[in-house]
Structure 1
Amino acid sequence: MNISNIDIIKSSGEKVKFSLEKLRASLKRSGADEHVVNQILDKVHDELYQGISTKEIYNRAFALLKKNKSHFASKYKLKKAIYELGPTGFPFERFVSAILDYSGYKTEVGTILQGKCVSHEIDVIAHKNSEATLIECKFHSDQGPNCNVKIPLYINSRYLDVKANWTKTSKDKASLTEGWVVTNTRFTQDALEYGNCCGLYLLSWDYPKNNGLKDRIDRLGLYPITVSTLLTQREKQFLLSRSVVLSRELINDKFYLDHLGVSETRKKKILDEISQLCSS
C-alpha cells in the first residue's frame, strides 16, 4: 500500500493525506526511543485504510505507547489533556497562570479592573520587573473551533480601555506594557495578522513557532494533571476542583490521593508516572 495516497479525516472533517513523518515526530516527542517509535509506526501502517480518522490513528498509537511506558503515553496525549481541563475555562486559566509562575512571573487570576468606560474581569494579570501584562484565555473543549479575528479585536478593545485608566487603578505602580491572548487551539491567519499589527501577544498550541504552548509545557515539564493515564476521570475532576492543575503539584499534595481512597500500590504507580513525566 502506498501510504502517501491514504486520505485521513481530521476532527474538523477536513480530508488530508496521511504523513508518516508527522506521526513519527509526535511519537518521538513523547520521549520514546527510535526502536519503540519504529515498532508503533509499523503497526499503525498495517492498520491504515482510506478515510481513517486522525482519532483512530491517535488512539492506536496511544494504546501502543501506554503498553510500553505510561509516561510516554501521558506526554503523547498532551493536546487531548488540555481539552480535558474543561468544560469551563477556569482550570485552563489556572494552568496558564501556573506556567507563567514557573517562568518568573507573579500572577493573579480572575481580577476585576475598572477601565475608562466599564469594568472588566481579567483572566490573568502577570507581573515581572515592574511591568504588568493582561492575559485573556480562550479555551475550547473540543478540537473544532479556532480563534478568528473577532477574538483579538475584542480583547484589544478591553486592553485599551483598562490601559486608559491604569494609572488610577494600579496598586503597585507597575507599568501596563502588554496584552496577551492565549488559546489551547490555533489562531486563524487574519487573527494573527491583526494581533501582530495592533501589538497583542498571541500564544496558541503551536504559535509562536518553537515557543507555543506545547513547547513551553515540554520545556518546563509543566504537564496538566489530566495527562495521567492512571488517574480516573472522576479523580482528575476532584483534583481540578481542589486547584491541583499541574501534575507536579500532586507530588507535594499526595494526601489528595489518600482522600480519594487510592491504595498504596496504585498511589506509587501514579506518583512514579508523574515523576518520570516531569523529569523526562
Structure 2
Amino acid sequence: MDEVLIDIIKSSGEKDKFSTSKLRNSLRKCGAGEELVEQIVGQVREELYKGITSKEIYNRAFALLKNKGAIFAAKYKLKKAIYELGPTGFPFEKFVAAILEYSGYKTKVGKIMPGLCVTHEIDVFAEKNGELYLLECKFHGEEGRNCNVRVPLYIHSRFQDVKQQWEKNGKHDVKLVSGGVVTNTRFTEDAIKYGTCIGLHLLSWDYPKDNGLKDRIYRLGLYPITVSQLLTKREKQFLLSRDVVLCRQLIKDQFFLDHLGISKTRKQNIIRELSQLSSHGSH
C-alpha cells in the first residue's frame, strides 16, 4: 500500500507525516498476522483526517486489535504500560534491573555509593563478568518528554565522582567500567552525541537501533505486569508495591493473587494471559 501524505500531530506537539509502514511494523511486532495487520492498516487509513493525533491513531489500532486478540492488544500497549509503572519512577528502576538480570547481570537498586566529593544514590547497580555499570533511570510519566543533553552531562559528572573515590580506595574485585542512562522515552540528538562521545551507556525506548528497551522486551518476553488486560489498576498498584514488576515474576509468585482475594477461575485466566505474554518473546 502506498503511504498516505497526511499530517498527524505527535505527542510532543510536532507535526509529522502518517506512516503506514510504522503502523504496520508496530502491529507485526506484537504478533499480529499479515492479514490482520493489513485489515487494521486499511481501516485506520480510511479514518485518517488532517491534524489527527498519534494518540487517536494508537487508540483506534488498539481497539481493532483488542477485538481480534487480547494478547496482541496487551503487547501493542507496551509503551503505555511502562508509563503506568509510575508515578514515582521506582517501579521503572525495578523493571530495568529485572531486564538486566535476565541478561545475566547481578543487580541492586537504590544503592548508596561514596564519591570523592559527595555520596550518590545509584538507581541500578549492574555487574557481569567482573565489570560494574552504574545506571541512572530517567522515568517520564507522559509522552513527548525526552531526555536532553543535560541528563548525560549530569550523570557523567556523578559517575566521575564515584569513579575517583573507587580508584582511590583501590580494594575492589570488580572493575568500574562506566555509567549509563536508561529512559522510557527518547534521547535528543545532542544527548546521544554527548553520551556516545564520553562513553556512557545509553538505552531508551528505541535506542540503540534494534536493541532499545522495546526490542529487548519483545525479544525476551519481559513484559511489565501493567500490560495485563485482566488485572485492575488497583491490583497492579498492589503488585508493584510488593516489587512484582514482571509478568514472569507473578507466574512464579502466584500467591500474590491469593492475597488479592482473586477467585480461582479469574486467577487461572490471569496466569494464562501472563504465560502467553511471557512466552511470546521471539527468541
State whether TM-score is above 0.5: yes
Correspondences of 1:4-43 after superposition (within 5 Å)? 4-43=4-43
1:234 maps to 2:268:
no
Q: 2:267: which partner in 1?
A: 267
Q: 2:188: which partner in 1?
A: 188
* CA shift for structure 1 position 116: 0.4
Change in CA separation of 1:6 and 1:95 when aligned onto 2, cut-off 3 Å: same
Correspondences of 1:58-69 after superposition (within 5 Å)? 58-69=58-69
Contact 1:114/1:169 (CA < 8 Å) preserved in 2? no
Amino acid paired to 1:177: V
- The 3-state SS of whatever aligns with 1:181 is strand
Q: C-alpha separation between the residues in 2 aligned to 1:68 and 1:255?
A: 31
* CA shift for structure 1 position 69: 1.2
Q: 1:139: which partner in 2?
A: 139
Contact 1:167/1:173 (CA < 8 Å) preserved in 2? no
Which string of whole-angstrom CA distances, capped at 9 and with x for unpartnered residues, describes residues 11-37 of structure 1?
A: 111111111111111101110101111
Q: C-alpha separation between the residues in 2 aligned to 1:100 and 1:212?
A: 13
Amino acid paired to 1:80: K
Amino acid paired to 1:14: E
Amino acid paired to 2:218: D
Correspondences of 1:84-233 after superposition (within 5 Å)? 84-167=84-167, 172-233=172-233
Q: C-alpha separation between the residues in 2 aligned to 1:27 and 1:136?
A: 31
Correspondences of 1:245-256 after superposition (within 5 Å)? 245-256=245-256
* CA shift for structure 1 position 265: 2.1
Q: C-alpha separation between the residues in 2 aligned to 1:258 and 1:170?
A: 49
Q: Which runs of 5+ in 2 are unaligned?
A: none
Q: C-alpha separation between the residues in 2 aligned to 1:71 and 1:143?
A: 23
Change in CA separation of 1:109 and 1:170 when aligned onto 2, cut-off 3 Å: farther
- The 3-state SS of whatever aligns with 2:206 is coil
Q: C-alpha separation between the residues in 1 aligned to 2:120 and 2:3?
A: 52
- The 3-state SS of whatever aligns with 1:194 is helix
* CA shift for structure 1 position 156: 0.2
Contact 1:113/1:169 (CA < 8 Å) preserved in 2? no
Q: Which runs of 5+ in 1 are unaligned?
A: none
Q: C-alpha separation between the residues in 1 aligned to 2:218 and 2:3?
A: 30
* CA shift for structure 1 position 57: 1.0
- The 3-state SS of whatever aligns with 1:236 is helix
Q: C-alpha separation between the residues in 2 aligned to 1:191 and 1:13?
A: 20
- Larger mean CA deviation between 81-90 and 38-47 belongs to 38-47
- The 3-state SS of whatever aligns with 2:120 is strand
Aligned residues: 279
* CA shift for structure 1 position 5: 2.7
- The 3-state SS of whatever aligns with 2:36 is helix
* CA shift for structure 1 position 3: 6.4
Amino acid paired to 2:6: I
TM-score of the two chains, using structure 2 as the length reference: 0.95
Amino acid paired to 2:273: E
TM-score of the two chains, using structure 1 as the length reference: 0.96
Which string of whole-angstrom CA distances, capped at 9 and with x for unpartnered residues, describes residues 190-223 of structure 1?
A: 1111111111111111111111111111111111
Percentage of pairs with the same residue: 68
- The 3-state SS of whatever aligns with 2:25 is helix
Q: C-alpha separation between the residues in 2 aligned to 1:205 and 1:117?
A: 33
Q: C-alpha separation between the residues in 2 aligned to 1:268 and 1:28?
A: 28
* CA shift for structure 1 position 264: 2.0
- The 3-state SS of whatever aligns with 1:267 is helix
Q: C-alpha separation between the residues in 2 aligned to 1:222 and 1:230?
A: 18
* CA shift for structure 1 position 170: 7.7
Q: C-alpha separation between the residues in 2 aligned to 1:88 and 1:176?
A: 28
